[in-house]
């Protein structure tokens, strides 16, 4: 007898239907998680970023940005500026308003305003920044340089199935899910929303790229365990959901 093939994706959809969900921690009255994974100043230098209102761009129209947007995997060997990186960070995860440390309203939509992502950057070629790993501290609009191996770009490229744009881009954005920020409100169904939210964030980066004369390649092909291990993530409570390379074209 041939047993029916198990389809993991359908199991996930069935297991996260509304009617199957346990009571969320929010409804149980438990304390909500912090709006951002705490950081320690001694973990690395903190860089204050310019207000996005002070940054000038090409002012490409929304229509032109949408029509011009396409995936670009090959980049010129030239840097992006720190202003351009700042603009891209703010427009993908920037905080417009912090509501009593209970919720944030940002430049992208998120289920229940949970905004469960941390942005980790691999910097290869950005004016004013040393190569290496950085973290965007969205609540304070700052960068923190993280400790990393000298060959961190090669390690991440190998984890990304040796895709060359990882090393050739000026910067690689890695969006890390802090899962409890989402599941606190939505229980296991929150995992669906993490992946939906990642799409919103990546699309904003594509549109930003059109406004700064750059290109983007969204990346979902990578070795999860290897990449999470490189970044010091446990792969369960925190894990990479999506990546995207950004560079001049």
Please give the domain boundaries of the chain with CATH numbers for all domains: 42-248 (3.40.109.10)
Q: Provide the 10 A C-beta neighbour count for residue 113.
A: 15
Q: Considering only CA atoms, which of 185, 172, 174 is closest in space to residue 110?
A: 185
Give the model's pLDDT for residue 55. 97
Give the model's pLDDT for residue 2. 65
Q: Considering only CA atoms, which of 237, 243, 216 is closest in space to residue 80?
A: 216
Instruction: With beta carbons less than 8 A apart as the criterion, state whether 82 and 141 touch.
Output: no
Q: Nearest-5° angle of CA 235, CA 236, CA 238? A: 70
Q: Could you give the CA distance from residue 38 to residue 40 in angstroms, rounded to a whole number?
A: 7
Q: Could you give the CA distance from residue 152 to residue 186 in angstroms, rounded to a whole number?
A: 35
Q: Would the pTM of this model clear 0.75, i.e. be above it? A: yes
Give the model's pLDDT for residue 1. 57
Give the model's pLDDT for residue 5. 80
Give the model's pLDDT for residue 152. 98
How confident is the prediction along the chain (249 residues), in pLDDT tens digits per residue? 566 688 999 999 999 999 999 999 999 999 999 999 999 988 899 999 999 999 999 999 999 999 999 999 999 999 999 999 999 999 999 999 999 999 999 999 999 999 999 999 999 999 999 999 999 999 999 999 999 999 999 999 999 999 999 999 999 999 999 999 999 999 999 999 999 999 999 999 999 999 999 999 999 999 999 999 999 999 999 999 999 999 999
Instruction: With beta carbons less than 8 A apart as the criterion, state whether 153 and 124 touch.
Output: yes
């Amino acid at each position: 007898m041939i047993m029916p093939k198990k389809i993991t994706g359908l199991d996930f959809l069935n297991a996260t239907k509304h009617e199957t969900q346990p009571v969320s921690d929010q409804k149980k009255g438990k304390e909500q998680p912090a709006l951002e994974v705490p950081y320690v100043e001694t973990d690395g230098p903190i860089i204050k970023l310019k207000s996005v209102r002070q940054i000038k761009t090409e002012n490409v129209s929304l229509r032109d940005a949408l029509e011009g947007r396409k995936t670009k995997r090959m980049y010129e060997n030239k840097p992006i500026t720190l202003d351009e990186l700042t603009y891209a960070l703010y427009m993908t995860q920037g905080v417009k308003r912090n509501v009593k440390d209970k919720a944030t309203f940002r430049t992208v939509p998120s289920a229940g305003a949970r905004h469960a992502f941390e942005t980790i950057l691999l910097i290869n070629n950005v004016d004013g920044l040393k190569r290496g790993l950085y973290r965007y501290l969205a609540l304070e609009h700052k960068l923190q340089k993280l400790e990393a191996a000298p060959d961190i770009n090669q390690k991440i490229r190998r984890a990304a199935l040796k895709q060359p744009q990882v090393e050739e881009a000026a910067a690689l954005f890695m969006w890390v899910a802090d899962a409890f920020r989402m599941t606190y409100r939505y229980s296991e169904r929150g995992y669906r929303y993490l992946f939906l939210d990642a799409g919103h964030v990546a699309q904003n980066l594509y549109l930003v790229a059109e406004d700064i004369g750059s290109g983007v390649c969204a990346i979902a092909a990578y070795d999860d365990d290897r990449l999470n291990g490189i970044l010091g993530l446990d792969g369960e409570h925190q894990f990479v959901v999506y990546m995207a390379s950004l560079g001049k074209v």
